[in-house]
Each structure stands twice: as structure tokens, then as C-alpha cells.
Structure 1
Amino acid sequence: MRERPMLQDVPVPPKSYHPVAKMLHWLVAVLVIAMIPIGQVMVLEGLPRIVQNTLFLLHKNGGVLVGILMVIRLGVRLVLSPPKMPATVPTLQRRVASAAHWLLYVLVLTMAVSGYLRVVAGGYPIEGLDGLGVPHLIARNALVETIAKDVHYYAHFALIAVILAHVAGALYHLLWLRDGIFARMWPSPRNHRR
């Protein structure tokens, strides 16, 4: 007869993120991942004008949406603190994961703010905000436009690198370690435990 494992021998799955945090995470992830190729394609020469205009419209307004969602995410993170990593995760790995998460926040917000400043300082519309009657935060300014354009351009390389590292870490936990870390953020109503 097979002996039942003792309670202390059964691994306890890691606690999960709050459903609101999960929803915001995946919504921002999908938007950011969509924004990257849109941003790359919209500046290609030879695109039909209608295609280029549509891509610019999506990128500008999508960037504003991402910025708003990231501010909400920060608020949610401060109110609903993320679950602690299990003790089985080494200290160095915890620190790297925490730094990578905060770096993602900084880079996504940097992209949203620099994109907004580049567009508004360049005298271009942000149709969604303009349609709602939201005034531009700055006037047309060539210097601000140039700096914001450069920041937006160079920050996107860093953002892509950190996203790739984040995805690699998530897949490492999901496929190699199989330690439940990935499940903490996966959208499932069954695994929400605080």
C-alpha cells in the first residue's frame, strides 16, 4: 500500500497576483507587443498613405492608452502588493526579477511619455485626447520634439531587450523549473490566492 505524503511534504503552489493586476498585465503586454511592430512599420518609406496614417493613429493613441494603463498598474501595485516569491527562489533571482519588473515599468512609461511629447511638441494631433477636449500639456517646441524623438527611439531597444528577458524568465519557470511562478500571473480564476 502506498503511503500518503505528509502535509509538510506537499509543495504549496505560490500565491497568485490579484485578478485586476493580471488583467492589467496582459492588457498592457498585448498592447505593447502590438505597438512595437506598428512603430517599426509606420515609418517605412513607400507605404500607401492610408496605411501609414492608420498605423500612426493606432500607435499614437495606443501609446496614450498604454501610458494611462501603466499609471493605473502602478496604483494597483501599490494598493495590492504582489505576492512574495516562494522561498525556493534564490535571493539573487528574486532581486533580478524585481529589478526587471521595475525596469519594465520605467521603460514603458518612458516610451509613453516620450511618444506623447514627440507628437505634441511636433504639433501633431493625438486624435483620442483631442476628441475628448484634453488640452496638450506643452506647446509646439522643436527642441522638446527632437529630444523626445531620440529618447523614444533609443528606449525602444532597451524595452525590447527587457521584454525578451522577462519572457525568457517566465518560460524558464513554466517549462524548465515548473515551479508555479508562471501560474501566478496567468489569467485563471482558479489560482487566485493571496
Structure 2
Amino acid sequence: MTEHSSGYRTPARLFHWIVALAVLLMIPAGLTMTREGLDRGLQDVLFIFHKNTGTLLIPVILARIVYRRLHPPPPLPASVPGWQQRLAAASHLALYALLVIMPLSGFVRVRAGGFPIELLDAMGAGPWLPKSEALAGAAQGLHFLAAMLLIALLALHVSAALHHALLRRDGVWQRMWPPTGG
């Protein structure tokens, strides 16, 4: 695999696109599974997908954060104004925070609500939390708020990426584009 000197390393790109794909699948699943009047069979499939994918994402996100701490991102091109660089840094920090809050609040909501997480249950992991409607309700509220913030921040993130790719054409988009052989 080739890497550009101004681009992210291959592991960072892989972490980015694995998490991006999972999150982009989980958002519509999460929004759909909670709709009133949804077919119960479809609702069950979406809940199982959403809970188990969130559970699988926790170690991936934590590994991604550790990797980023050990391998800081390359600097943005000098052509990117300072205010945009500061906004990019703040938005990335917020994205990482939300990527931790989302699966953890979802886990607490499910387990404190007394519901299964099939993947963990199959491994004999146990609930780890006592059943508590108050805790489950608080976690559910946090999960919903974080989801709305994440959707808004992702819209900003994707818009900025497209702005750099289609309008500015300054190489920022290519820095994180999926790695290819070459």
C-alpha cells in the first residue's frame, strides 16, 4: 500500500472507514428501530444489529483513539485558514467523544433496562450492571442527545470533506481516502 507523505497512515484510514461504515449503517437502523408501528420482526433485527454492532465498535473506537494518540495526524495544508484548522480540531475531538459516548450509553441503556446483548450473552459475559429503570432512562436520554449531536457533526464533517474535494481541491480529501494497493 502506498501512502502520501501528507496523508494519514494506512491504519488510521482503515480505522476511519471501518467506523464510518458502521456508524452510517447504525444511524438509520437506530432511527428506524424506534419508530411506532414498525413490523416487530424488522424491529427485532434492527435492535439486534444495532446493539451488537455498537458492542463490537467499542474496542475498535478505543483502539482508534490509542492509535491516534501514538500517531498524530499530519498537519493540514498551509492553505487552510487558521480558523478552519481550529474548527477541524474541535470537531474531530467532539466526534471522538461522541463515538465513545454513543456505544457506552447504549450499553448502559440496554443492560440497565434488563435487555440482552446477544453477542455478549453468547460469550457468557453477564449483564455487568444491575437492572435500573432510572439508570436506563438517563442513558437512553444521553444516547438520544448524543445521536442528534453526532448526526449534526457528521453532516458538518462530510460537508467539509466534500468542500475540500470538490471546490478547493487542496488534497485534504485525499489524506483520508481509503488506502489502495499501488
TM-score for both structures, normalised by structure 1: 0.87
Structure 1 SS opposite 2:35: coil
Q: 1:49 aligns with which of 36, 40, 43?
A: 40
Q: 1:106 aligns with which of 86, 97, 101?
A: 97
State yes or no: 1:188 paired with 2:164: no
Give the residue type in structure 2 aligned to 1:77. Answer: R
Give the Å deviation of 1:132.
1.4
Q: Name the counterpart of 2:144.
A: 153
Q: How many residues align?
A: 179
Q: Name the counterpart of 2:26.
A: 35
Give the Å deviation of 1:80.
1.5
Unaligned runs of 5+ in 2: none
Structure 1 vs Structure 2 CA RMSD:
1.5
Unaligned runs of 5+ in 1: 1-12
Structure 1 CA distance for aligned equivalents of residues 154 and 102 of structure 2: 13
Residues 63-74 of structure 1 mapped to structure 2, 5 A cutoff: 63-74=54-65
State yes or no: 1:61 paired with 2:64: no
Contact 2:113 2:133 survives alignment (8 Å): yes
Give the residue type in structure 1 aligned to 2:101. Answer: T
State yes or no: 1:115 paired with 2:97: no
Give the Å deviation of 1:76.
0.8
Structure 2 CA distance for aligned equivalents of residues 45 and 143 of structure 1: 23
Q: Name the counterpart of 1:8.
A: none
Q: Percent identity?
A: 41
Structure 1 SS opposite 2:6: coil
